[in-house]
Amino acid sequence: MKTFFQTVLGLLFASLGFFGTWAGILTWTNWTHPWVACLAVLLIGGACYLSAQDKRSRWLRFPAFGFLVGAGLLGVVLSYARPVPSLCFAVVVLLFSAASIRAVSIWKTAKMLISLFVFGWVVFAADHAFMSGQVFAWKWRVIEQPFFGPSGYIKVERHDRRVIYATDAGFLDPWNVAIVWGWHVFPQVVIFGDKMPDGELLKDPKIQEAIR
């Protein structure tokens, strides 16, 4: 019974790690409060330390590891289909994997990050093969534009497996964008401005430039 409650506590802290870190990043990027991001980094560092202490009580280790799982999952979501963030997340995974060779106590955290990293790339491959970028389009609208974000797509233009998702950026940013998926490995986000172009989106000069 004690293990059950410890596991539940770990799951609760996983949610806190995901949504708390997400709120910290959004606060930093939208309102330029770097102290919030610094607080998130300190919490993640503390969680790494506590989860690696095998002699500590499981009442501390389970929530700490849960917090790391939530923060790691957020890292996968935010870096999904983005080249630079994906590279940064890969570097973090490599650092933890290299450190776990000398410090076996952090191998559990390294293994969790490796699993999340591989899972993200499997979903990315499936998004290319079967879902025509729907996962990335959802992630862009819901995760990257969460505050009064777009409610749906203005237009979806399909060209075989290649798709252009046209939408607005939400209430706070009254401009139109297009998610260009399938012409390259990583998608492109094209900003149109206040007015959505008429006619076929593929023929728009900005879309053509993104494809090239």
* pLDDT class of 87 with cuts at 50, 70, 90: very high
Q: What is the mean pLDDT of residues 153-168?
A: 88
Task: Report whether pLDDT(121) > 90.
Answer: yes
Is residue 18 located within the same domain as residue 117?
Answer: yes
What is the residue range of 41's domain?
2-128
Whether residue 159 sits in one domain with residue 207: yes
User: Do 54 and 118 lie in a common domain?
Assistant: yes
Distance of CA 105 to the CA centre of its chain: 27
Count of domains forming the chain: 2
Using the 3D structure, point to which of 107, 128, 149 is the last residue of a domain: 128
- For 53-83, letters b (16+ CB in 10 Å) and e give eeeeeeeebbbbbbbbbbbbbbbbbbbbbbe
Question: Do 12 and 67 share a domain, yes or no?
Answer: yes
More confidently predicted of 119 and 161: 119
12: its two tokens: 């609760």
Judged against a pLDDT cut of 60, whether residue 31 lies above it is answered with: no
Same domain (yes/no): 118, 18: yes
Residue that is last in its domain, among 82, 112, 128: 128
The reported pTM is 0.85
pLDDT band for 33, please (50, 70, 90 cuts).
low
pLDDT of 35 above 80: no
* Residues contacting residue 36 through CB under 8 Å, at least 6 positions apart: 23, 24, 27, 28
Asked whether residue 119 falls in the same domain as residue 161, the answer is: no
